[in-house]
Amino acid sequence: MTALRDAPVIARPARLRSFVQLSRPQQWHKSLMLFAAPFAAGVIDQRWALIRVCWAAAAFTLLSVAVYATNDVQDAPDDRRHPRKQNRPVAAGTISPRLALGWAASTAVAGVVAMVPLGWPVVILGVAYLGSQLLYVFGLKHVAVVDVVVVATGFVLRAAAGAAAVRVPVSNWFLLVSLFGALFLVAGKRRAERSAPSSNGQTRPVLAAYSAAWLDQLLTVALLGASMSYGLWAFQYLGTDVYHQLLALSFLPFLTGLLRYGLLVSTGSGELPEHELFRDRVLLTAGVLWSLLVAAGLYLA
């Protein structure tokens, strides 16, 4: 009898860990894209703006959790053949598909409801994000080219939602940098996945439609688009306030970071961009220097 009474106590922490794993907290950093527009607009240091963008980021995180949970249910058969993804809760059998979909529905509703106080523009962008990502999960991820565009669009929608949350206008250059920068990261991830020894066309079937040469071309196009868009935004401040001119100088570490990541991809790394940022000293140094120059250019001027 004692063993029967103790079993649920032991199971609860394991179930909780499975739900945390299903929610993929290692991916929540993507919601930082919502801070980009308020930061670039120079209002992130204002308390009201910081509160609103943090609220929006939390809501988008809930939406992303819904997408991840749904994706794990949809991908469970393929995940079981992947050396790393086979440990995901649904693939491993620690959470049932029905329970995972219930969790997805709950977090999706909570995320949309949480956006209502921020205004209808944020709600519309949030629903657009959720809808596009669910379409990706249920089929678009198997359509070559469309899959990378949809993933990249998710980052752009996050960035636009951050601007809408604090009611600041979004420049065309900002949107282009967001789009091309996201395309660059997605293309690098696909290129690294295709080159990985574990890639067999089953864990991500769409990889079979991509040639290495085409992915290299996409990386080049995205690199040029991101660097030129950022340069046109940054260099518009030349000849103004001395601190504003630091934005033009920030182009160097920005370009260095892009080129360094491209090099890592070409040598077989880059499948997890967020990990490479902290593993590679050059990439980390470029990121820190870029952040300091942009912060000084925007907030000391």
68-93 residue pLDDT tens = 999 988 888 877 777 777 778 888 78
CATH number for 30-170 (one of 1.20.59.20, 3.40.50.1980, 1.20.1730.10, 1.10.357.140): it is 1.10.357.140
What span, in angstroms and rounded, lies between the C-alpha atoms of 58 and 21?
17
- Over the chain (301 residues), what is each successive 10-residue block's mean pLDDT? 42 74 86 91 90 96 94 83 77 85 94 96 96 93 92 93 92 88 91 69 74 91 94 78 80 94 84 76 92 89 64
Report the pLDDT value the prediction gives residue 285, as an integer from 0 to 100. 94
Which residue, 31, 30, 18, is CA-closest to 69? 18
Which residue, 13, 141, 123, 8, is CA-closest to 70? 141
The residue ranges of every structural domain in the chain are 30-170
Report the pLDDT value the prediction gives residue 212, as an integer from 0 to 100. 87
What span, in angstroms and rounded, lies between the C-alpha atoms of 197 and 268?
10
What span, in angstroms and rounded, lies between the C-alpha atoms of 84 and 87?
6
- Please identify which residue in the block is written with the tokens 């890592």: 264
